[in-house]
Protein backbone atom coordinates (compact mmCIF):
# COMPACT_ATOMS: atom_id res chain seq x y z
CA UNK A 1 0.00 0.00 0.00
CA UNK A 2 1.10 3.54 -0.83
CA UNK A 3 -0.10 6.83 0.67
CA UNK A 4 -0.16 10.17 -1.15
CA UNK A 5 0.33 12.47 1.82
CA UNK A 6 -0.45 15.69 -0.08
CA UNK A 7 -2.84 16.10 -2.99
CA UNK A 8 -5.40 18.85 -3.58
CA UNK A 9 -8.11 16.59 -5.03
CA UNK A 10 -10.71 19.16 -3.93
CA UNK A 11 -9.44 21.58 -6.61
CA UNK A 12 -11.51 22.29 -9.72
CA UNK A 13 -8.92 20.50 -11.87
CA UNK A 14 -10.42 17.23 -10.61
CA UNK A 15 -14.12 18.07 -10.81
CA UNK A 16 -14.76 15.97 -13.92
CA UNK A 17 -13.14 12.73 -12.77
CA UNK A 18 -12.56 12.76 -9.02
CA UNK A 19 -14.06 9.32 -8.35
CA UNK A 20 -12.18 7.83 -11.32
CA UNK A 21 -8.96 9.45 -10.10
CA UNK A 22 -9.33 7.80 -6.69
CA UNK A 23 -9.99 4.46 -8.41
CA UNK A 24 -6.93 4.86 -10.68
CA UNK A 25 -4.82 5.56 -7.63
CA UNK A 26 -6.14 2.47 -5.86
CA UNK A 27 -5.43 0.34 -8.93
CA UNK A 28 -1.68 1.13 -8.62
CA UNK A 29 -1.62 0.65 -4.85
CA UNK A 30 -2.23 4.21 -3.62
CA UNK A 31 -4.94 3.36 -1.13
CA UNK A 32 -4.96 6.52 0.99
CA UNK A 33 -4.79 10.24 0.13
CA UNK A 34 -4.47 13.28 2.41
CA UNK A 35 -5.98 16.55 1.16
CA UNK A 36 -4.50 19.74 2.69
CA UNK A 37 -6.54 22.91 2.93
CA UNK A 38 -5.35 26.33 1.77
CA UNK A 39 -8.08 28.39 3.48
CA UNK A 40 -11.31 28.01 5.44
CA UNK A 41 -13.41 27.40 2.33
CA UNK A 42 -11.23 24.54 1.09
CA UNK A 43 -11.33 23.17 4.63
CA UNK A 44 -15.11 22.84 4.29
CA UNK A 45 -14.71 21.17 0.87
CA UNK A 46 -12.33 18.68 2.44
CA UNK A 47 -14.77 17.83 5.22
CA UNK A 48 -17.30 16.89 2.54
CA UNK A 49 -14.83 14.82 0.52
CA UNK A 50 -13.52 12.79 3.46
CA UNK A 51 -17.14 11.85 4.20
CA UNK A 52 -17.74 10.88 0.59
CA UNK A 53 -14.65 8.73 -0.07
CA UNK A 54 -13.09 5.89 1.89
CA UNK A 55 -9.32 6.18 2.18
CA UNK A 56 -9.41 9.98 1.83
CA UNK A 57 -8.32 12.09 4.80
CA UNK A 58 -7.71 15.79 5.32
CA UNK A 59 -5.77 18.60 6.96
CA UNK A 60 -7.16 22.05 7.68
CA UNK A 61 -5.50 25.43 7.91
CA UNK A 62 -4.62 28.61 6.04
CA UNK A 63 -1.86 28.66 3.41
CA UNK A 64 0.49 31.67 3.67
CA UNK A 65 -0.77 33.07 0.37
CA UNK A 66 -4.28 33.16 1.88
CA UNK A 67 -3.33 35.12 5.01
CA UNK A 68 -3.60 38.75 3.85
CA UNK A 69 -6.86 39.20 5.77
CA UNK A 70 -6.08 36.75 8.57
CA UNK A 71 -7.68 37.32 11.95
CA UNK A 72 -7.54 35.26 15.12
CA UNK A 73 -11.24 34.49 14.70
CA UNK A 74 -10.27 32.10 11.90
CA UNK A 75 -8.45 29.93 14.43
CA UNK A 76 -11.80 29.08 16.01
CA UNK A 77 -13.13 27.89 12.65
CA UNK A 78 -10.04 25.73 12.07
CA UNK A 79 -10.44 24.27 15.56
CA UNK A 80 -14.04 23.30 14.75
CA UNK A 81 -12.96 21.72 11.46
CA UNK A 82 -10.41 19.56 13.28
CA UNK A 83 -13.20 17.90 15.25
CA UNK A 84 -13.92 15.65 12.26
CA UNK A 85 -12.37 12.22 12.87
CA UNK A 86 -10.72 12.16 9.42
CA UNK A 87 -8.86 15.46 9.87
CA UNK A 88 -5.33 14.37 10.75
CA UNK A 89 -3.22 17.55 10.70
CA UNK A 90 -3.06 21.34 10.51
CA UNK A 91 -1.98 22.41 7.04
CA UNK A 92 -0.84 23.50 4.78
CA UNK A 93 0.67 26.39 6.69
CA UNK A 94 3.97 28.25 6.55
CA UNK A 95 5.64 31.11 4.71
CA UNK A 96 5.83 31.99 1.01
CA UNK A 97 8.16 34.80 -0.07
CA UNK A 98 7.95 33.97 -3.78
CA UNK A 99 4.48 35.40 -4.33
CA UNK A 100 3.59 38.81 -2.94
CA UNK A 101 0.07 37.87 -1.84
CA UNK A 102 0.35 38.59 1.88
CA UNK A 103 2.71 40.76 3.95
CA UNK A 104 5.48 38.80 5.66
CA UNK A 105 4.34 39.94 9.09
CA UNK A 106 0.79 38.74 8.39
CA UNK A 107 2.07 35.38 7.15
CA UNK A 108 4.13 34.95 10.31
CA UNK A 109 1.19 35.88 12.54
CA UNK A 110 -1.07 33.28 10.89
CA UNK A 111 1.71 30.69 10.89
CA UNK A 112 2.49 31.08 14.59
CA UNK A 113 -1.15 31.08 15.67
CA UNK A 114 -1.84 27.91 13.70
CA UNK A 115 1.26 26.25 15.12
CA UNK A 116 0.02 27.11 18.61
CA UNK A 117 -3.33 25.53 17.78
CA UNK A 118 -1.63 22.39 16.46
CA UNK A 119 0.35 22.02 19.68
CA UNK A 120 -2.80 22.49 21.76
CA UNK A 121 -4.73 19.90 19.70
CA UNK A 122 -1.72 17.55 19.51
CA UNK A 123 -1.91 17.47 15.71
CA UNK A 124 1.12 17.42 13.37
CA UNK A 125 1.61 20.20 10.82
CA UNK A 126 2.08 20.26 7.05
CA UNK A 127 4.58 23.01 6.26
CA UNK A 128 4.71 25.09 3.08
CA UNK A 129 8.04 26.84 2.55
CA UNK A 130 8.85 28.83 -0.56
CA UNK A 131 11.96 31.01 -0.52
CA UNK A 132 11.50 31.51 3.23
CA UNK A 133 13.66 28.74 4.69
CA UNK A 134 15.48 30.68 7.38
CA UNK A 135 12.32 32.24 8.80
CA UNK A 136 10.36 28.98 8.57
CA UNK A 137 13.03 27.06 10.46
CA UNK A 138 13.50 29.76 13.10
CA UNK A 139 9.77 29.68 13.85
CA UNK A 140 9.62 25.86 13.86
CA UNK A 141 12.72 25.47 16.02
CA UNK A 142 11.12 27.74 18.59
CA UNK A 143 7.75 25.98 18.32
CA UNK A 144 9.07 22.46 18.94
CA UNK A 145 10.23 23.52 22.40
CA UNK A 146 6.55 23.99 23.32
CA UNK A 147 5.27 20.61 22.14
CA UNK A 148 3.54 17.99 24.25
CA UNK A 149 5.28 14.60 24.43
CA UNK A 150 2.82 13.14 21.92
CA UNK A 151 4.14 15.44 19.18
CA UNK A 152 7.86 15.64 19.92
CA UNK A 153 8.75 12.73 17.63
CA UNK A 154 6.18 13.64 14.95
CA UNK A 155 5.79 17.43 14.75
CA UNK A 156 5.06 17.42 11.04
CA UNK A 157 6.41 17.41 7.49
CA UNK A 158 8.18 19.95 5.32
CA UNK A 159 6.09 19.23 2.28
CA UNK A 160 7.45 19.14 -1.29
CA UNK A 161 10.93 19.72 0.06
CA UNK A 162 13.08 21.96 -2.15
CA UNK A 163 15.33 23.86 0.26
CA UNK A 164 19.13 23.60 0.71
CA UNK A 165 20.83 20.68 2.47
CA UNK A 166 21.41 22.71 5.64
CA UNK A 167 17.65 23.26 5.98
CA UNK A 168 17.03 19.53 5.53
CA UNK A 169 19.50 18.84 8.32
CA UNK A 170 17.87 21.37 10.65
CA UNK A 171 14.41 19.98 9.91
CA UNK A 172 15.56 16.42 10.58
CA UNK A 173 17.26 17.53 13.81
CA UNK A 174 13.88 18.98 14.84
CA UNK A 175 12.24 15.56 14.17
CA UNK A 176 10.38 16.66 11.04
CA UNK A 177 9.67 14.40 8.10
CA UNK A 178 10.52 15.51 4.54
CA UNK A 179 8.04 15.03 1.70
CA UNK A 180 9.23 14.60 -1.89
CA UNK A 181 7.21 15.26 -5.04
CA UNK A 182 7.58 15.14 -8.83
CA UNK A 183 10.69 17.36 -9.08
CA UNK A 184 12.75 14.47 -7.67
CA UNK A 185 12.35 12.96 -11.17
CA UNK A 186 13.33 16.09 -13.14
CA UNK A 187 16.49 16.15 -15.20
CA UNK A 188 17.95 19.25 -13.53
CA UNK A 189 17.20 18.21 -9.92
CA UNK A 190 20.57 16.68 -8.96
CA UNK A 191 20.88 18.82 -5.82
CA UNK A 192 17.46 17.72 -4.62
CA UNK A 193 18.28 14.07 -5.31
CA UNK A 194 21.54 14.45 -3.41
CA UNK A 195 19.56 15.65 -0.37
CA UNK A 196 16.85 12.98 -0.70
CA UNK A 197 19.43 10.20 -0.88
CA UNK A 198 20.70 11.21 2.56
CA UNK A 199 17.38 11.54 4.35
CA UNK A 200 16.95 8.64 6.81
CA UNK A 201 14.51 6.06 5.49
CA UNK A 202 12.24 6.54 8.51
CA UNK A 203 11.76 10.26 7.73
CA UNK A 204 10.70 10.10 4.06
CA UNK A 205 7.20 10.77 2.74
CA UNK A 206 5.91 10.65 -0.84
CA UNK A 207 3.37 13.11 -2.19
CA UNK A 208 2.13 14.44 -5.51
CA UNK A 209 1.04 17.98 -4.55
CA UNK A 210 -1.41 17.42 -7.40
CA UNK A 211 -2.52 18.99 -9.62
CA UNK A 212 0.98 20.54 -9.59
CA UNK A 213 4.56 19.19 -9.91
CA UNK A 214 3.78 16.23 -12.16
CA UNK A 215 6.63 13.70 -12.30
CA UNK A 216 8.46 12.60 -15.40
CA UNK A 217 7.25 11.11 -17.79
CA UNK A 218 3.96 13.03 -17.42
CA UNK A 219 5.46 16.46 -16.80
CA UNK A 220 3.30 19.18 -18.35
CA UNK A 221 0.07 17.30 -17.63
CA UNK A 222 -2.18 17.41 -14.59
CA UNK A 223 -0.72 15.50 -11.65
CA UNK A 224 -2.69 12.86 -9.74
CA UNK A 225 -2.16 10.26 -6.98
CA UNK A 226 -1.77 7.42 -9.49
CA UNK A 227 1.67 8.89 -10.32
CA UNK A 228 3.05 8.29 -6.81
CA UNK A 229 4.84 5.08 -7.98
CA UNK A 230 7.13 7.18 -10.22
CA UNK A 231 8.30 9.15 -7.19
CA UNK A 232 8.72 5.96 -5.17
CA UNK A 233 10.80 4.34 -7.92
CA UNK A 234 13.14 7.34 -8.12
CA UNK A 235 13.59 7.50 -4.36
CA UNK A 236 14.21 3.75 -4.17
CA UNK A 237 16.96 4.03 -6.77
CA UNK A 238 18.53 6.92 -4.88
CA UNK A 239 18.49 4.93 -1.65
CA UNK A 240 19.69 1.80 -3.54
CA UNK A 241 16.88 -0.28 -2.06
CA UNK A 242 13.94 -2.12 -3.56
CA UNK A 243 10.70 -0.37 -4.46
CA UNK A 244 8.98 -2.70 -2.00
CA UNK A 245 11.21 -1.59 0.86
CA UNK A 246 10.77 2.11 0.01
CA UNK A 247 7.00 1.59 -0.22
CA UNK A 248 6.89 -0.17 3.13
CA UNK A 249 8.95 2.57 4.80
CA UNK A 250 7.09 5.60 3.45
CA UNK A 251 3.72 4.05 4.23
CA UNK A 252 4.79 3.26 7.79
CA UNK A 253 6.13 6.81 8.12
CA UNK A 254 2.84 8.36 6.97
CA UNK A 255 0.83 6.18 9.34
CA UNK A 256 3.16 7.09 12.22
CA UNK A 257 3.17 10.82 11.53
CA UNK A 258 -0.53 11.31 10.85
CA UNK A 259 -1.90 8.42 12.94
CA UNK A 260 -3.79 7.20 9.89
CA UNK A 261 -6.29 4.49 10.88
pLDDT digits (tens, 9 = 90+) for 32-57: 999 999 999 999 999 999 999 999 99
Q: Strands across the sheet with 177-180, in order?
A: 2-4, 30-36, 56-60, 87-96, 125-130, 156-158, 177-180, 204-206
Q: What is the model's pTM?
A: 0.98
Q: Please report which confidence band the pLDDT of residue 107 belongs to, taking 50, 70 and 90 as the band edges.
A: very high
Mean per-residue pLDDT, 62-73: 97
Q: Please report which confidence band the pLDDT of residue 159 belongs to, taking 50, 70 and 90 as the band edges.
A: very high
- The residues near 17 (Cβ < 8 Å, ≥ 6 apart) are none
Mean per-residue pLDDT, 63-76: 97
pLDDT per position as a tens digit, 205-253: 999 999 999 999 999 999 999 999 999 999 999 999 999 999 999 999 9
pLDDT of residue 87: 98
Amino acid sequence: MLIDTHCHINFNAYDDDRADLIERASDVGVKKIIIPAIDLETGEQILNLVDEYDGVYGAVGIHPNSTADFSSAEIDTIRKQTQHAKILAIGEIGLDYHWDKSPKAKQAEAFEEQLALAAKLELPVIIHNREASEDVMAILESWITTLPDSLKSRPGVLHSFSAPRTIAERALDASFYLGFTGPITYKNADDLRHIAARVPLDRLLVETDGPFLTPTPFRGKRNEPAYIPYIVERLASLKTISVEKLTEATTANAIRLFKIP
